[in-house]
Structure 1
Amino acid sequence: MPPIDRLVRSALLALGACVVLALACYEVPEVRDYYSCKEDAECGDGGFVCDDGVCCREREDPVCIGRVLDAGTDGGTCLDGGTPQTFYEDLDEDGFGNLTKPLYRCSPPQSVPTATNDDDCNDNPNASGRLFFPGAPEQCDGFDNSCDGVTDEGLDGGLYYLDEDNDGFGDPARTGTFCQRPVGWVDNRNDCVPDSGTSYPGALEVCNGLDDDCNGTTDDTAQIGQACTAPGKLGVCAEGARACVGGKDVCNPVRTPAALDTCNAKDDDCDGTTDEKPDCGGPIRFAGDPSVIFGARHLGSALQGVMGECLKDSTLPNATPADVVTGDVWTGSGSTSHVFWAERDGGTWDLSRSLTTLKLFADVSSDAGTGTNRDGGLSRWSDHGQPIVLLCGPGGFLRLVPSPAILDSTGTEFVRQNIPLPPTSTSGWVVGLNSSSDVPGVLRQVKRIEVIIQPAASGGGFTFDFQPDFGLP
C-alpha cells in the first residue's frame, strides 16, 4: 500500500485541482471598464447580472446599484430600501426622454443618457433629434419641432411668388406656399413682365413696347410730348412732339402748313421761306397778279368821305350808270360816292410787317362840273379829303385819309403816294374816325383795299388810271 502521506498529498492535489476548476467556472468576468456588459448573459453564471453596463450581484459584492430588487413580484425595491424610478432614454441629450424606451432603475443610468420625462417626440440624434423637444423653436422643415402636435407654427406659412428675373417683384402666375420665404421668391405679385429684370413697379419707362413701370400703360415715357424737330420738315412743320410708336422713339409734327405765311418771322406755309410775299406784305403789284380781283361800284349816296364800314358789300344802293373797271382803269360818272377795290381771291394779306407801304400810283382826271374847294379854289372834286383808302378785313377796317386832300383841282392829278402802314405823323396820311381800334389786328388780316372818290357834280365822268406800280412793294 502506498504510504499515508502519499495518499494525503494526492488527495490534496486532487482537491486543489477541483478548487482550481471550480474557481475557473465561477470566476467573475474581468471588469475592464464601466461598460463591460450589455445584457445578463454576458456576465456568465454565479448570480452575476448586468446592471447599467457592469456585471454585479443584486445583494452581494459587487453590488448592483441601479438594479431593482424583486422587480417581478412586489414592484421592486432598491438596495437602500428606496423606491425605484422610471427613466427614459434621451439619446439626443436634449433633456426630454423617449416614451417608448422606459428604464425602471434605482439610480440614473450611466450607460445611456436619460431623462425623467417622456416628452420627446424625436429622440433620434441621427434625425436632428436635438431640434425636437417641448418648447423648441419651430424650424421650417415640415415637422413638429416643439412637440405640440402642430407643424411649423409661428412661421408665416405665406403665399410667395417666384421672382425669376430677380427684380424684387413676383410673377403672379407662379405661386408657392412656404413657412419661410425661400431664396428667389418674394411676397408680392406685382411684376408685369416676369422675365425682364428692367420691368417692375417704379422702373424707368423707356420706349420699347413694354410696360416697364407696370402701371398698365405701355411706353408712356416721360419724354412723350416733349418738343423735338420733325425730320424732313420745313418751317413750323418741323415743330414736333416726341412719341413712342411701335417701340420706337419718334418725333411727330404738330403743325401743318398754313394757307398763308403771316408776318411773324416763321415759315407758316412750310415752303422753306419765311415771311414771303404775297402772304406777308401783299403782292408787289396788284395788276397782273392772278390772286387779285378788281371791281367798282357807283354808290347812291354822297358820303363826303365819312363812312363807318367798308363799302364793297354795303347796303347802299348801286347808282347808275354803273362804274366800269377795264384792266386796271376805273371809270364812272355822277356826284355820289364811288368805290374801287383790289381784293385777294381767297385768304388775306398780312400787312403788319414793319415798313410795309401801300404804293397808290394813279393818273386821275374828271370832266365833271367844278365847285369851290375849302381853300377857295375851283375843283372838279367834292370838298373833302380825297381819295380815301380803306383797309378791310375780318377783324375790322381802317380809314386812311390824306391830309391835305390830293384831289382838289380841275386838272389831271398824278397821284404818287407811298402810304406807310400804319400811317405816320409825317406821311401826310392819318387814320380817320370810325376806324377799328385794333390797328395791328386789322393790318394782320387785310382782305381788300378800297379807294373812295366823289366828283363835285353829276355831269361828265372821271378816269382813275392805276399805274403798274400800284401795289405793296
Structure 2
Amino acid sequence: MRILFPLLLLSCQTGDKGVVVFDNAPSASILSPQNYAVYNEGESITFQGVVDDDSPLEDLTIQWTSSIQGELPALDPPDSEGYLSFSTASLIPGNHIITLRAIDDGAQQGEDEINVFIEAVPEIPSVQILHPTSGEMSLAEMPYVFMGQVSDEQDLPTELIVEISSSPGGFICFASVDGIGFAQCTHTLPLGTYMIQFRVTDTDGNSSVSEAVFQVVSQADFDADGDGYSPNAGDCKDQNPNIYPGAPELCDGLDNDCNELTPIDVGSDCYDDDGDGYCETPPCLNADSMLPDCDDTLPQTSPESEEVPNGYDDDCDGLIDEGTVNFDDDGDGYCEAPPCLNATSLEPDCDDNNYLVNPAAIEICGDGLDNNCNGTTNEENAQGCRQFYFDGDGDSFGVSGMGSQCWCDGGSYPYTGLDTMDCYDTNGDVHPLQTQYFSAHRGDGSFDYNCSYSEEREHLDISGGCQWGYISGLSCSTNSSGWEGTLPTCGQSGLWVSDCDAQYDALCFGLCIAFSSDWLYCLLQQCQNSQCNPEYDSRTQGCR
C-alpha cells in the first residue's frame, strides 16, 4: 500500500497555493526463513520478503546481502503486491547476517535482517557394509558376493574407489560402484574367521573404513536355514527354520525341537496341554472342542470358564476379570471393589450394572436409586428436588423466616414443611387442616389449633330442661341436650345434659290416667315423689 500525505502550504509565488508531497522511506521485511535457521553447506535456501514504498515498486533497487559473502545474486523484482524471493545453495559455512534492502530514487532505504547458520559438510566419504553383516557365515569354496553402500558430498558415487580386504588374507578386490553408490564384488575364501574391511577413497584422497566379522565354515557348521543352528550345533533338519534344538512344537507332524524324547506336536497350538479340553488352534489332537483356548498352560482358563477376579482372562473373551467386582462393567469409571482393572477410581460402585449410579453421579429424585452411592435416595439439591420449609413439629406445615432446603419427596427433618402456613410450630396437632377439638391449650395458652386465628368451641348448646309427656306411655325427656346453665370457655369443665330420668308411682299414675281428666296434674299433685330430672355427665369444652 502506498500513502501520500498532502499538506497545503503558502507558496512563495504570490496568490498561489502549493502542495508538498513527502517521500517516505521504503519498508522491507524478511518473511522466511526464520531467524537463526540452520542449513547444511550446499543445501538450497529460499529467501522470501516483502517491500513497500510511496513510489512505484518497480522503481525500487532491491539488494540481498550476506555479512560474509557480500551482495547475493538476486535478480527477481517484487511483484505487484511487493512480494519477492530468491534461492541459493552457494552460502559458505558460517553465521550469515542476511539483509534485505529496498532503495528508492531519492536514495532513501528500508531494510530487515536475519541470521542464517550454514554448517560445514564433512569432506570424507562414507561407507556401510551390507554383506557380510558382522558374524555372518558363508560356505567354504563357495563364491560370496561382498556388498556395500558408499557416498560423498562432493564426488559422484562412480568417482569413488572401494577396496575390500580381509585379515588374515589381505586384498580381496576393488568393488564396482553404480550410480547410486551400491558397491559389490565376488570372491571365494577358505575356511576361517576374517575381519572384512571396506575402504572408500574420494578424488581428494580422503577415505573412510568400515569392518565386519565374517566366518567361512564347512557344510556341517553352516546354518543353511538361518535359524541359528547348524548340523554340528544340533539342527536335525537344516533346511527348515522351524526345526532346531529347543524349537517350539508346531502342528506340522514334525520333530520341531530335534528331541526324540518329546512327542511330536505335544506342546503345539493344536495340542491341549493343560487338559481342560481346549487347545489354541483347533482341531485339537487330544480334545474335541472347536473353541480356541487363550492360555493352554492354565486349566482354569478356557472359553467356557467362569470369569473370576484373578487377573486372567478366564473365559477367553479378550477381557480380564470382566463381570467381577474388580471390573468396571457399566463403563462409568468405578467398580465394586477397587482397585479396578479398567478404571482409576478408588471409590466403590454400589451398582455396577447401571452407569447412572456411581460415587460421582448426581442424585435424582424419584427414580428409587441411590445414584451417588452415599446410602440414601434423598439428598439435598438432588436433581428434581423441591423446596421444603422449616417444620419443627413434623406436621408437614412449615414456618417462614427459617429458610428452605431443596429435597426429594418428604424432605429431611426439620425441613419437611410443604408451605409456611403453620401458626404454632412446636405442636404437631396445630396446622391449617386440623379438624379435631382439644380440651387443653396448644402450649402457649391458645386453643387456635387450625390456624384460623380464633378459638372455635366444640359444644355451643344450652340444655332446655326436662318435661313430661304421654303418647303411648309416660315419658320424661329433655327439650334439648346441652350445657347446664352457662356456656363453658375453652378448656373449662361443666355439666352436660344429654337425657332426663323419670321417677313416679306407677299404680298412682295408672289411677290418674283412669279417673282424672288432667293426668299430669294428678301425677304431680296426687302421686308422691313424681319427678322428671336431667341426667348429667361432666365434660370439658373442646376448642380448635
User: TM-score, normalised to structure 2's length?
Assistant: 0.27
In our comparison, the structure showing a higher alpha carbon Rg is: 1
The structure whose RCO (Cα within 8 Å, separation 6+) is larger is: 1
The TM-score, its normalising length taken from structure 1, stands at 0.30
